[in-house]
Structure 1
């Protein structure tokens, strides 16, 4: 009974058109972008 409910979900997960390394690279790029934005506004508080 549990396996009949889990099987369609497992198939949907494996049918992704984007592969895992591409998702990892995009996520890493997004985190680096957020880091750069945070670093660029680091000195705003000390100027005022």
Structure 2
């Protein structure tokens, strides 16, 4: 058990910080999903034009 605690402590010391705030990652993901939504919306009537 003591060895497991030492491994956990050393792993906790070697963590890396995120390059951006978590809010930035959320905003980028939201923007990407909105862009994909707009691309999908642009092709909404393609199936009805090619009968």
Normalized against structure 1, the TM-score is what? 0.75
- The aligned length equals 46
Q: Which segments of structure 1 move beyond 6 Å, counting only runs of 4 or more?
A: none
Distance 1:36 1:5, change over 3 A: same
Distance 1:46 1:6, change over 3 A: farther
Give 1:8 deviation, angstroms: 2.7
Normalized against structure 2, the TM-score is what? 0.71
1:11 aligns with 2:15: yes
Question: What value does the CA root-mean-square deviation take over the aligned residues?
Answer: 2.4
Higher Cα Rg, which structure: 2
